[in-house]
Structure 1
């Protein structure tokens, strides 16, 4: 599979299944999308509320769809993505089949144990929700193609500390890139300067701890890299 990011803003995600897995999927997609969850019961131990920063919402619908009903639910919701997260294999099979018939993305909670008869065509539309480490808009996604969730979790925990401060670094280097483009430096020198900033441990320390001024540290790096005195702290 080829990893891609998908913007679900203003779109609908349809989740079949109201257990812990369905709740987790719903909260994940509600960060951007409106999520409709269809289930005869909803896990009382799960949090069905969206975070106040979420752009979407979760709409639980209490119903027990049969395999024959799945297509009608999809037509009614007009989703961009369909999630099969029930404890009924027949319903999950029907959800995956109905989504693929309509060329919709489909995510199966039990995809590691299910093989399609037409793997080549099905995989194009299958969506894996990977373990994710995020700091603001900077995200790292980890997937083992469903083979080892334990490994994905372990790698996520290892990467979390490395990503701390990445959002602030992205903001800082974005500003510096714009300023460098307005200078008389050639493109190669500008790229080298930004790469040097990103690799400098003192810039990272300043961003993470506030022990010094990040922009001042970045200015130092750029001046050392370009050999110029244009970049002074203001």
Structure 2
């Protein structure tokens, strides 16, 4: 019987969390780019890519120069001490397995690049506050990439402005409509209004003006 993976998609606040990436090549660079915007990111390697030096210069990551092939277990344990996630991203599979084993012994989450670890980083689509993660749990990167392209064709930049408009209207309605179900109904009317979506492609202000006019008419009619 195949082993069951109990993965659950979550949104995590990594503020102040320590992320340690082993490997200064293209894979380590990609992982550093991902984590550096939201966590305390360390990259450990003997050599680093040009982009990693740029990230260090801008204060987004910390680079630690170390020959990982000769590093002792105690040195590796010291480096990952207090880490939330460890990513073994070297070009040496045996070294990656060694780092993984040490991290696992210390109950640290592991994002492996050549196997399925305890953390899987999905392909991410962001439209303002809308975040969509896509993953096949490593079974088919091609399907993950294809799915991302399909979704990106549907989830246009206007979604970001619709979220902003919905949030604004939601706060407005809380002051003027006491019933939660009624507020939800009004918000759905706005969400499903094709003219508002078309307005968003031109300007937020035009869409907001139309939305507030619809809400005003609805509240006026419902009070009669």
Aligning the two structures, in what range does the TM-score lie when normalised by the shorter sequence?
Answer: 0.7 to 0.9
Partners of 1:188 and 1:35 in 2: CA distance: 44
CA apart distance, 1:199: 2.5
User: Aligned pair 1:23/2:24, yes or no?
Assistant: no
Q: Where does residue 73 of structure 1 map in the other structure?
A: 76
Equivalent position SS for 2:176 = coil
Task: Supply the distance in 1 between the matched residues of 2:70 and 2:191 (Cα, whole angstroms).
Answer: 52
Structure 1's 51 and 58: CA in aligned 2 closer, same or farther, altered over 3 A? closer
Once the two structures are superposed, the pairs formed by residues 166-181 of structure 1 within 5 Å of their partners are: 166-181=159-174
Residues 14 and 39 in structure 2, CA contact (< 8 A), matched pair in contact too:
yes
Cα distance change of structure 1 residues 147 and 109 upon mapping to structure 2, 3 Å threshold: same
Deviation at 1:62, TM superposition (A): 1.9
Cα distance change of structure 1 residues 201 and 47 upon mapping to structure 2, 3 Å threshold = farther
Q: What's the C-alpha RMSD, in Å, of the aligned pairs?
A: 2.7
Partners of 2:76 and 2:221 in 1: how far apart?
Answer: 62
Q: Kindly tell me: are residues 230 and 20 of structure 1, through their superposed partners in 2, closer, same or farther at Cα, counting changes over 3 Å?
A: farther
Q: CA deviation at 1:201?
A: 2.4
Task: Name the structure 2 match of 1:193.
Answer: 186
Contact 1:49–1:58, Cα closer than 8 Å, also in 2: no
Q: 2:43 aligns with which of 20, 37, 44?
A: 37
Cα pair 1:205 1:211 within 8 Å, conserved = no
* Residue 88 of structure 2 is aligned to residue 84 of structure 1: yes
Seen in structure 2, the aligned counterparts of structure 1 residues 24 and 63 have a Cα distance that, compared at 3 Å, is: same
1:118 aligned partner: none
CA distance in 2 between counterparts of 1:143 and 1:71 reads 34
Q: 1:111 to 1:167 in 2, by over 3 A?
A: same
Question: Residue 13 of structure 2 aligns to a residue in which SS?
Answer: coil
1:10 matched to 2:2: no
- Structure 1 residues not aligned, in runs of 5+: 113-122
Q: Distance in 1 between matches of 2:68 and 2:112?
A: 16
**5+ long unaligned stretches in structure 2:** 1-6
Distance across 2 between alignment mates of 1:201 and 1:189? 21
Secondary structure of 1:209's partner?
Answer: coil
Change (3 A) 1:28 1:166: same
